[in-house]
Structure 1
């Protein structure tokens, strides 16, 4: 039995059991997640999206095999057993090619699925909810399901004999990457809609010649549990709003919910989500938000400790780059007055798309602060990390402070999910 299925079975048995997916390709974020997994001896699910990683390289420049090789090599260098790694593909479908005719986009999506499966990804989110050129709007649920089944058939055709695939169906609200403004009345997905989604997909799988053994690999359905964030607000999880959803999914012994855009919730919210059978939690922007907080804080410290000509000027370089190349934020930040703070500090964290171009600046900053940083400066700019340093739990150096800041976010998810121990935890 796969690790994920074991977790799902425990969750459906009423245990506080779940798994969170780290949805990021940022090296420092990945390093923090890998080190946490090593320290706890627990599995780590890392997911890539079709926009990030695809057969043409995506915006990371990595193809599916490149991504797995990159993460696995990092894990080995950090002393983590590769067997603790699980890889998932998120929003795998025609999303990258929606500006093309539907059949062309679906053929490219088939190639995408094949490359992910052949590379070793085992958790596949079949997302065909987006309309392509020539599609009649809104897309019928039956058409979405038929396209998902078509992609599932491709995955099954390319899996290795011992490769245990599992599938997630359904799409999310909000759209991938977050929203620029939250809905005034955020509604959870009605049970009737969830049931219709499941029935449509099951019928489509059957019509595509996918037998019961393939349908049993569907482990989760993506629904809206009432969590969302925009540039400046967070809609907190309200357990009473998902009571009907929770009761419904209990009738499906091997099926749970997958919750997207769970970033920025309170720690008790994550625990409640898992208890309500949202056993798979996705996190991404909050991790790079924490990274940005730490790096910007360190850049202030750098300005105090280093001569001007030695400084990385990370913050200034970041803002200049974003203004010169607005591609990744212009659809999210429309208010010119708010732009002066949204560029660097929005919960949507569009900064994350610019870190690859700023890598030299980041390394310069970390190098400038590689020696022990005076405690009062850590207290001023990174108070939680100051407490950890004072307690002897953390070294007062830049890289360690950044990783600790990211791990604070991961810790809330790990606490809620209570992941099973696969290796002896690292003794610290």
Structure 2
């Protein structure tokens, strides 16, 4: 990616399970890995083999994903292996500066998505007496199916100080502040934000490079509020992908909406045309709900296999529902076993998260595992960074999460939500335009 000639790397044949690059062997430390402009850093640990040498490298997927289109890339795109997401607070005070920032971000994102360097002169071709326009750590790397997705938070439209950028009349009704759910332990520096940027790639260094460059470009106009690194996708968004596992060791996202489900996407993911003219800019876009969910790993690891499967409602090996069948068999919640008790417990995660328990509502998930070191007590700060795209958070997320927070024994005993955010995801960008352009029309 980002060769000095700025010629995109040739596309390779698509694979259902893209190979992991040598940087796919890196483990991240710290959730605050961001751009130099934010004064943050990324700590990486190179996994070594038994002989003490770095593990052998594997080639990354070199294909690039188009940046322009009807919808933004990074939603129905086949989920990549790595994530770097960051939320920004806009410090610019006038509308023109905000639009200028979005235009600059758009130009840099299109270039990086295509495997080119950011800026006209890139990392090494600029003047010696000026900082490079690209940070350079992705020189020589392929795009590795990089996607960059932008969203707007409620505070971009108005905050405690009042309306902002003349956008109060364009605030979508679905862009809500989530209610406080039972058991929430939200941290302010892990929640909210004016603008969110999701960078996904099969190479972690490529994803980190994106946020670092966009943070540098934003200097003087926006600062990073929080960022999160993720590894090991916890959902499949295409039927060609195998169902991955979360840090509890269970397959995650079996019932996820897939890219091939056009009718389900229209019903549950894409925002329909609104009767309000002020919301037309969001037609064809979506809403993103993000939740940083810390898992009580040490407690879980001392829980019996039988209890783990009861809590989830699926077998740990195959992922089949406890009512029988294979992984993708529809759960039979009425089927009873010993003592006439349901085979899938009434307080199990599968039952409470299933569409049958939520008025038929589904969502498209793109979550990732995370490990951000250990806390002061020596416990892993690890878990699931939940990402879901829905047509309206009020109907497609809030009722389900409220029920799970109160009744799901897995959530009550083994999970703690420490970060949260809801963002309006504009529809796709057209060549010559910029992200969110319809918002300012």
Q: TM-score, normalised by structure 2?
A: 0.26
Higher RCO (C-alpha 8 Å, min separation 6): 2
Question: Which structure shows the bigger proportion of residues in helix conformation?
Answer: 1
Q: TM-score, normalised by structure 1?
A: 0.27
Question: Which structure shows the bigger proportion of residues in strand conformation?
Answer: 2
